[in-house]
Every structure is written in C-alpha cells, then in structure tokens.
Amino acid sequence: MFRIFQAGKSVASYNKVQFRNGLRHFTNQQNYDAIVLGAYTDELALANTSDHISQSTRNSILEQLSASNFSKADDLRMLYNVGGISQVAVVSLGDKKSNQNQAAVLETARRAAGLGVQALKKQKATNVGVDVSIHAHGAAEGAVLAQFEFSKLKKGKDQEPFLSVGPFGGLDEASVNGGLNWETGQIYGVSQNLARMLMTTPANLMTPKTFSEEVAYLLAGLENIDIAVHDKEWAVRQKMNSFLSVAQGSDEPLRFLEIHYKGASESDPVYGLVGKGVTFDSGGISLKPSANMALMKGDMGGAATVCSAMYGISKLKLPVNVVAVTPLAENLPSGRATKPGDVVRAMNGKSIEVINTDAEGRLILADALYYLSSKYSLKSIIDVATLTGACDVALGQVFAGVFTNSDELWTQLNIAAQMTSDPFWRMPLHDDYLKAMKESAVADLVNSAGRSGGAVTAAMFLKEFLADKEQPWAHIDIAGVMDCSSTEGYHVKGMTGRPTRSLIEYLRGHTK
C-alpha cells in the first residue's frame, strides 16, 4: 500500500477534560496508545500547559527528562506507561523564544510532530495523538508528512495496520492563526504526499496516460474543478511541435492535462500554473549515464506538485481562480526519436535547433507556456520543473531556484516558502544569458548552450515562449529538491513532492 495520511478528528471535539476515577492522567477520549509532546529545554517545561495533562503526570515526565540530559533541540525521549499512555515521545523544542514569527512557530510544530511520529512508527504504535498546543496546522503537516511510505508493491505490506494520527490537547485556534488549523494542516500534508506518491510510482506504472487517469480520479468530485485530458491529435492541431518532438521517441502516447479551479467570481484574477511532466527521461538519443537513471521516474515532479497543489486548494475551498496545465510525455531513444541537430517549430512560431535531446523539459514547457499565456488573461504564471542539473549543483537539496521577471511575484513566493519551510532562492534572470541560446546557424534558438550558467540559460529560453514578455512569471527549478537523501522527521527519504505546500500557500496568500 502507499500511505499518505490517516485522518484524525477535529481538535474541537477533543477539548473536554475527563478523568476516570482519578486514574487517567491524560485526557484521552480518543484512546490513543501513544502521544507526541513538545518540551522546552532552557527552563524545562512542557509546551502544553493545558489541563489535558494532570500535574502529577507533568511532574513525572519532567523528572525523567531532567535525568536524561534532555538539552538540545530535536532531542527525543521515549517514555513508557506514563499517565495511562503506553508510549510518550517527548521532542525537544530547544529554548523557548518570545516574539517568534508565525513561520518559525509553524516549523517548530511541524518538526516536533514529524520527529515524534517517526519515532512512534518504529515503535509500532497504532493510534497516536499529536500535541497541537504550539500550532495545530504545523503539527498536522508534520504528522501527515512523516507518515508517508510507498509500500504497495511489497509483498505482505498490505497486512500491516495503519498508523492513525489525531490531535491532542489545546484549542483549535484557526481564528487567531489566519484560518490555519489541524484540518488545513492535514490538507497541506496530504497534498504533498500525493505528489510524493505520483513521483515515487515506477515509470511503467505512471505513464502519461496513467498519470492523467490518476489525477482525474483524485480530483473527481471535488468542488469547482474541471479537467480536460488532451491527446496527440489535439497537440498536433495546436501546432505544439516542440512538445511533440519529445514524445515521438516513445510508444507511450502523450497527454496534455488541463485543470481549471473556479473558486472565485469570474471577474476575479486568474493564476496560471505549469508543470513539467516527463514521466521518464532517458535523455533520448543524448542518452544519460545508467547510474541513477532510475530516479528519472521523478522527472514529472513539476506536474506532480502542480496537480497536487490543485487538489489542495480545492480541498481548502480557496476563493481563487487557477488554470493549471501539464504536458506529459516520455523521453526515450528509438528510430522515431528526435536527433541532435533536428529543428522543430514551436507553437509560437519560433524554430528550435535541438542540440541536446536531454534538454527536453524546456521543449515541452515552451509550448505549454505559450498555450497558457496566449489563451488566458492571467495575473501571474508559475512553472515548476525538474529542469537542470545545474540548479542541483548550485543549490543542492535545500533551496529550489526561482527565476522571475517580477519583484512582487518573488516577494509573494518567498513569503509562502518561509511559511512552509520549503525554501526558495532567487536566481539571476538577465538578457545576457540569452545570447548563448541564439547561436544557432539554422534556427531562432538552440535548446542547450552548454554547462556555463545552465540553469539561467534554460530559464531565459522559457521566457521566450511567454505570449507577453511583461507577464509576471516565475520559473521554479526543483531539480535539486526532487529527491531527499535521508529520513528525518517529516522529511522522508525518496521523492519529496516539493514545493506543493509552497504553491498552495502562495495561492492562499491571494485570498486574504
């Protein structure tokens, strides 16, 4: 099975304190067999100050923490049979800081929940309560993200019990947290887990056709969502020859997925999203080295995160309008495949000399960007793509690179990324980088200009396919953050599903 989350009940339903004959020292109407708590280390104290924990239980926990040299942020102690609970995971929050901004508080809650849930998973807990006293939304995000695993292809894994996680203690403070609560945190986490699932699924089980079917199934029945799945004949009529040139080497048929979310009135602005959807990238005729080529099942990470963000905003019922498109294809070598030196004419009429068939993402995005920007009047366009190894070299697994022609759009994206702790770094976007992309003797543009400044030249190439060069636009290169090398708390080894939550938060920012 693949596990994206196990839903908990609303926080509001857990607020009554009830002791049973004086024997129950945690409020535990949900019959949790394990609980995650946070504690500060400077003046040793539990973060949860409510009467959901009796004073005697609180004292017992603090005594054990003091005796165990519980002193550094992220320290974790497992306590057993405390206050009627079989297992209690206490996570250090470090020193208690006053006047922390909301982004920092969210990450504290997110990280503590993730570390605690991961520890209790290893201990085979089945019904876990997570302390929501720091921030319910952040705690839910961390708890849901920490549960992700992709095991449906492993024999016998479907016999293992689900880990159920719900909120423990505190009040649902959505009214004072800008509308964020346990339920919204679950939706953010589930949305990223959906992207992880799409990216992790082997390429033979996640072709362009099956990706479209899976997304259509996930979005079916959600409010204000319309889905159109276009085929090769449609792409031919649109003159998307750049997109078609990538798909022609594979026997798997291409798809072009178009999703409309109408959460606001027709007179309100419309925001555009584009996701690169190469469901497997061998490099084509410019074949990649075999080492780590299996990871290229995740080269549709842009499409996965964009579609999962659309799921999230629909579940949240955000009052915004969004159009998302994802061109989907495999890039494989064959007798029909595009050859280095071939020239194709994109939808906007520009000719492209394909110097390197492994620079295929920009070819499919070129037609998608022009289609979206020419057909719709948009407030902004954001494209997301596992585009260049150069961005991975520059930023590694920490920051995704953002290239944008709009200071305002960069500010909005940066604020969203800070709130989700899924960070962006602004990269240069300068016309001088375009010169190398215009050095073809036979076409308007080349699709690759070598290693120097490779992430920037790719971004400049994409800009050439905006119908209006002044259109506020951002390109997010997620090649470096596509994969996580180790599991720590809510960060799980494997495909990351980043930056799904940042996209949702960016769009939520336009509803205030």
**Would you call 362 a catalytic residue per the annotation?**
yes
Nearest to 498 by CA among 479, 476, 482, 474: 482
Place of tokens 């929940």: 113
- Phi/psi at 16 (nearest 5 deg)? -80, 135
H or E element: which one contains 401? strand 400-404
Residue 27 tokens, joined: 């409020």
Helix crossing, 454-463 with 361-375: angle to 10°?
30
Residues 193 and 365: their CA atoms lie apart, in Å, by 24
Residue of 77, 196, 276, 362 marked catalytic? 362
Residue of 24, 58, 288, 379 marked catalytic? 288
> Burial level of 160, CB count in 10 A (0-12/13-18/19+)?
middle
Q: What angle do CA 58, 63, 67 make, to 5 degrees?
A: 150
Residues 53 and 183: their CA atoms lie apart, in Å, by 23
Residue 39 tokens, joined: 């504690």
String of DSSP letters for 409-421: HHHHHHHHHHHHT
- Other C-beta atoms within 10 Å of 457: how many? 24
H or E element: which one contains 198? helix 182-200
Residue 437 tokens, joined: 């992309």
String of DSSP letters for 431-464: GGGGGGGG--SSSSEES---STTHHHHHHHHHHT
Yes or no: say if 140 and 182 are a contact pair by the CB < 8 Å rule: yes
Nearest to 19 by CA among 11, 32, 8, 28: 28
Yes or no: say if 348 and 467 are a contact pair by the CB < 8 Å rule: yes
**Would you call 110 a catalytic residue per the annotation?**
no
Nearest to 140 by CA among 161, 112, 102: 112
- Quick one: DSSP state of residue 465? T
Give catalytic residue positions: 288, 362
